[in-house]
Every structure is written in C-alpha cells, then in structure tokens.
A and B are shown apart, each in its own frame.
Chain A
C-alpha cells in the first residue's frame, strides 16, 4: 500500500513540524525588559472575593494609564490569599478582615514584611423579604437571640423574637462558615467569631442568599453591602439598633460616617514591603489611594463605601514611609475606628 505509506509519512512529518514549531514558540517567551521611563512589570494580587471588585477596578483603571504594567487579580479567599502571600507567590493580598497572628507569623517566618492598608468599608446588611410588613428595625440583642448557637432548633418562629411578631417560621439565610462575612457577623452580633447556630441555609454565593430571601415571606438573612445595593428591588434592608435606641439603615452615608454599627467593617489590602520598592507596585498603591481612584469605590459598579479623604491621605503617607506591621494585634474588632492610622 504505497499510497497509504506516503500519506501517513506526510502526516507524521506535519506533526513533527508542528511540535518543533511549538517548542520554538515556547522557547521564545522572554522576560519583559524595562523601557525608557514608561512603567513596566507584573503585579500579582490574590485574596478575598469581597475585596476583588475594588482591586479589579483599580487594576482596570491603572492599566489604562500604564499599559506596560500587567495587574492580575485572583480570588482565593482571605485565608487562601495570605497562604500564597506567605509563600511569596503574590505581591499584594486582598483581605476582608485584619491579618491573624498566625498568618503574620507565617509571613515573618518567610522572611519579609508587609504594609497594611485599609481601603474601604463594607456594611453587612440584614435583609428580609419585601412582603415582610412586621420588621421595621431589629436590635443587636434580637439578632443575637436569632443567631446564637443556643437558638439552634429552639428559636424557630418570628413570635419568639419579639412580642407582636407573627406566628411564622424563621427562614434563615447566611454566608458559608468559611467566609469573612460570617466571621465578622458572628463576632459583632453573637460576640465570638464563628459562633453561630448551624441550622440555616448557607451559601458561599451571595446571589443564592438574595434569591432565597426574596423567595420566602418569612425569610431573613445577611450579606455584604454591594449585594444589597444591587438588589434593593428583591430584598429590604433592616435598620439596626446597636443598643442606643436609634435605628440606623445601611447606606453609603451611615457606613461612611460610622453611625451604622456594629455591622460596618473595614476591608484591607496587604502589600509586601520589598515588592513596594518596585516602581510599578509603588505607583499602583499610590493610585489605589489617590483622589482620582477612591471616589470610584462608592460607584455602583464597585458598591463599597470609601473612607474619608483624610484617612486616604494618612494611609498614603504611611505607605510612603513604608510603615510595616498590623494595627490589629488581636484580629478583627467590632466598631473599631480607623483613627489608629492617622498618627
């Protein structure tokens, strides 16, 4: 079968040529050289999915100005991000809570330092179904009664929360136990992080929580501010009374001025100190904290609450001075102010 033989030989030659071509292609990949004056280089960011929309917006805007700088952002979660950060795989780590002592130790053991920068506020919002006509405000004590571990299988009806609430089952929705949102809510409401009843419907995807609460008249749940502002047609936010008798709704204004308590929390980025010495990383962080970018944090596309201009100015100065270490030695605190960065 000479025809067959020729045919198959040709096919094999083509395959061999293809292989060689790809090997050449692979070998040709080179490093990015510095070019005159223009910023160039790679910035690798990973970490919390909560902080992702902000860092992504900063990366998107920054690369419009500096096309030579390639900023990539991953979503490994706050804890996963710190692991990669400690392994030296990333330059910047997104975090929806302050660094934990154990994580700080791992970074110190790896032999480098980090600069801590709060970038925005998130206001965790308690939401109910729009058809819910009995809840106008909830106190922290009522929320605690609803969510504390002792409530498991005993507090199952709205009429157990407050006299006058109807006889309807409590349908509870909350983020999964691995999320920073769950950590902070339990800390702020129950008094201890991770301490919660277990008989609620959990999802790592906040959109699932929105769908759940909008589908049941007797539902209640909580999630991050950005998911609330995008879904005000499907769920209703519940004002919270932190114990002083006034009910405060979560809005851009109340979260920014600190009156929405205790469910506002700062969210952070952590920068490797030696990475910050690279001009492209230095420029990126300065841009992140600049007056040009920070107003975009409160835009509907991002959906978080920006800090005060004076705070950003102080943070920029702190970054320029390369002040390292955390100002949260005991981890997350409830109702904490960012004044500590102002000195």
Chain B
C-alpha cells in the first residue's frame, strides 16, 4: 500500500513537470504561428515597398497615355492597359455565360449518373492544369486551326478556357447554397423548373457567382505564360481596333521592361507592377462589395 501511494505521489510530480512542458509547447506553437504569419506579411511588404520606391516616380499621366518607346521617359503602358482591358471584356463575355449555364445544368438538371460524375471529375482536374498547357491548346486550336491569328479574340478564348473551371466551381457552390425550400415553394405555386431557376435560384446565387467570376478575372489578368505561347506581342504601338487585331497585355509589357539593359526600364516595370496591383485590388474590392451588398438584398 505504502508503495502505491508512493507511485501516486511520483506520478503527480511527473504530471506537474509535464504540464509545464506542455504549456511551453503551447507557447512555442503560438510563436511559430505568429512567425509564419509575419513571414508572409513582411515578404509582401518588402515587395510592395520596393516596387513603390522604384516605380512611383514614373507614374504620371504620360505613362498611361503613351505607347512603349526606346526612351524610358516617353514610354507608357497605353497599349498594354487597353490590350488587357479588351482581352478581359471578351474573356468574361465568353466564360461567364458558359460557366454559369454549365453550373445551372449540373446543379439543377443533370441526374446523378456516371456521365455527370465524369464531367465533374474533369472540371476539377481542369482547374489544376498548368496555364501553359492552355496556351499550347490555344495556339493550336484558336490561332492555327480556327485561324484567329495572334489576336485579342484568340487570347480571350484561351483565357476563357483557363478560368471556366473556376467560374463553374464557384457558381455551383453558389447555387448549392440556395435552400431547397425556396425551390419547393416555387414549384408548389405552379412555377416551371426554368421559372424557378430564373426567378429564385439565380437571383439568390448571383452574389456568389459574381464573386467567383471577378476572382477568376483577377487570375486571368495576371497570367503571362499562355499569352506568350499564343504569341501576344511585345512592342505594339497602336490600340487593337477589332477582336482579330494584334495586342499586348500588362504582364508581358512588364516582363519586357524588366529584361531591358537600361536601368530606367526597370523603374518603368515597377510602375507597371503598381498599375497591375491596383487593378487587382480594385477587382477584389468590387468582388467583396458585391458579395456584401447583394447578399443583404435577397
């Protein structure tokens, strides 16, 4: 018996010691987590500060209204900015309707059979395909076989393919979040399937779909590899006049300036990066705003 109490006393002491050790481990984890957060934030800050210090002096009105030039003081991003804008308009016009319709079909109409599952697996896989593969596909299908040439339209089609999986997945999630009771109420009042989708499911799912679409657009704006592959150009001293015209985009212009010999162009590249970042921040803010505003309405 005496031995037993002894064991108890010892184990209490052991427990106390390990309690301290466990507390220490707990604190250690907090510090580790904080360091991880700081690492990301500090890296981003360093990048931002570096870019702003290098580029802000070159951001003037002339920078937005000029084409590229071999004189850094005369060079601007007009062609790249408009090229990005045109390409994105056509990309969204192609990708959003197709993506949303796919999502509606898969969520509201398609039965749960092997064909649907096959499509779902494919969409999930497509979302993970490296962007350069879309570039190679675009080069062969749109530029060569469909003879669009190295045009805004060919770039838009390629980009639309690239972001379709993102839009489909986001739209499906938005549709899935619509309570079944709403559909049932609509059916009970005699609405057809299309009327239910059109008047109840779509308005309710709209904020989620819009957010997905805008985030997809943000991804497409920063993409360079597929556009280099399909042959978007580097020096374009004019604005595209029609969808089959040649074009350049912001990331390609920035990439070209970075690789130039004259150091002034590296500052121009930094200014271009600031513009690209601002465009991305605006897009993401719009996505957040729309999500909040539309969510409260319905």
A interface list, Cβ under 8 A from B: 4-5, 7-8, 19, 22, 26, 28-30, 42, 44, 46, 49, 52-53, 56-57, 59-60, 63, 70-76, 84, 87, 89, 205-207, 224, 226-227, 229-231, 300-303
13 A-B pairs (CB sep. < 8 Å): A28-B242, A44-B246, A46-B231, A49-B259, A52-B234, A52-B235, A60-B237, A72-B236, A73-B234, A74-B233, A207-B266, A227-B261, A303-B262
User: Would A53 and B70 count as touching, CB distance under 8 A?
Assistant: yes
CB distance from B70 to the nearest CB of A (A): 4
B298 at the binding interface (Cβ < 8 Å) = yes
Q: What total count of A-B pairs have CB within 8 Å?
A: 93
Interface centre among A19, A75, A226 (most CB of B within 10 A): A75
User: Would A71 and B234 count as touching, CB distance under 8 A?
Assistant: no
Partner pick for B93 among A19, A53, A56, A207, CB 8 A cutoff: A19
Measured between beta carbons, the chain B residues less than 8 angstroms from A56 are 68, 70, 234-235
Interface membership of chain B positions 223-244, coded 1 if the CB is closer than 8 angstroms to chain A and 0 otherwise: 0000000011111111001111
Complex alpha-carbon distance, A205 and B261, angstroms: 10
B interface list, Cβ under 8 A from A: 68-71, 89-90, 93, 144, 149-150, 199, 202-203, 231-238, 241-246, 256, 258-263, 266, 298
User: Would A26 and B242 count as touching, CB distance under 8 A?
Assistant: yes
Q: Which residue of A lies closest to B68 (CB)?
A: A56
User: Would A71 and B202 count as touching, CB distance under 8 A?
Assistant: no
User: Would B234 and A74 count as touching, CB distance under 8 A?
Assistant: yes
Q: Which residue of B lies closest to A4 (CB)?
A: B203
Measured between beta carbons, the chain A residues less than 8 angstroms from B245 are 29
Complex alpha-carbon distance, A7 and B298, angstroms: 11
User: Would B262 and A72 count as touching, CB distance under 8 A?
Assistant: no
User: Would B237 and A71 count as touching, CB distance under 8 A?
Assistant: yes
15 additional A-B pairs beyond A29-B242, A89-B231, beta carbons within 8 Å, are: A22-B90, A29-B245, A52-B234, A57-B70, A71-B237, A72-B236, A74-B231, A74-B235, A75-B234, A87-B144, A207-B259, A230-B261, A230-B262, A301-B70, A301-B262
A226 with B246, Cβ < 8 A, contacts A73-B233, A73-B234 known: no
A205 with B149, Cβ < 8 A, contacts A30-B242, A72-B233, A73-B234 known: no
User: Would B69 and A60 count as touching, CB distance under 8 A?
Assistant: yes
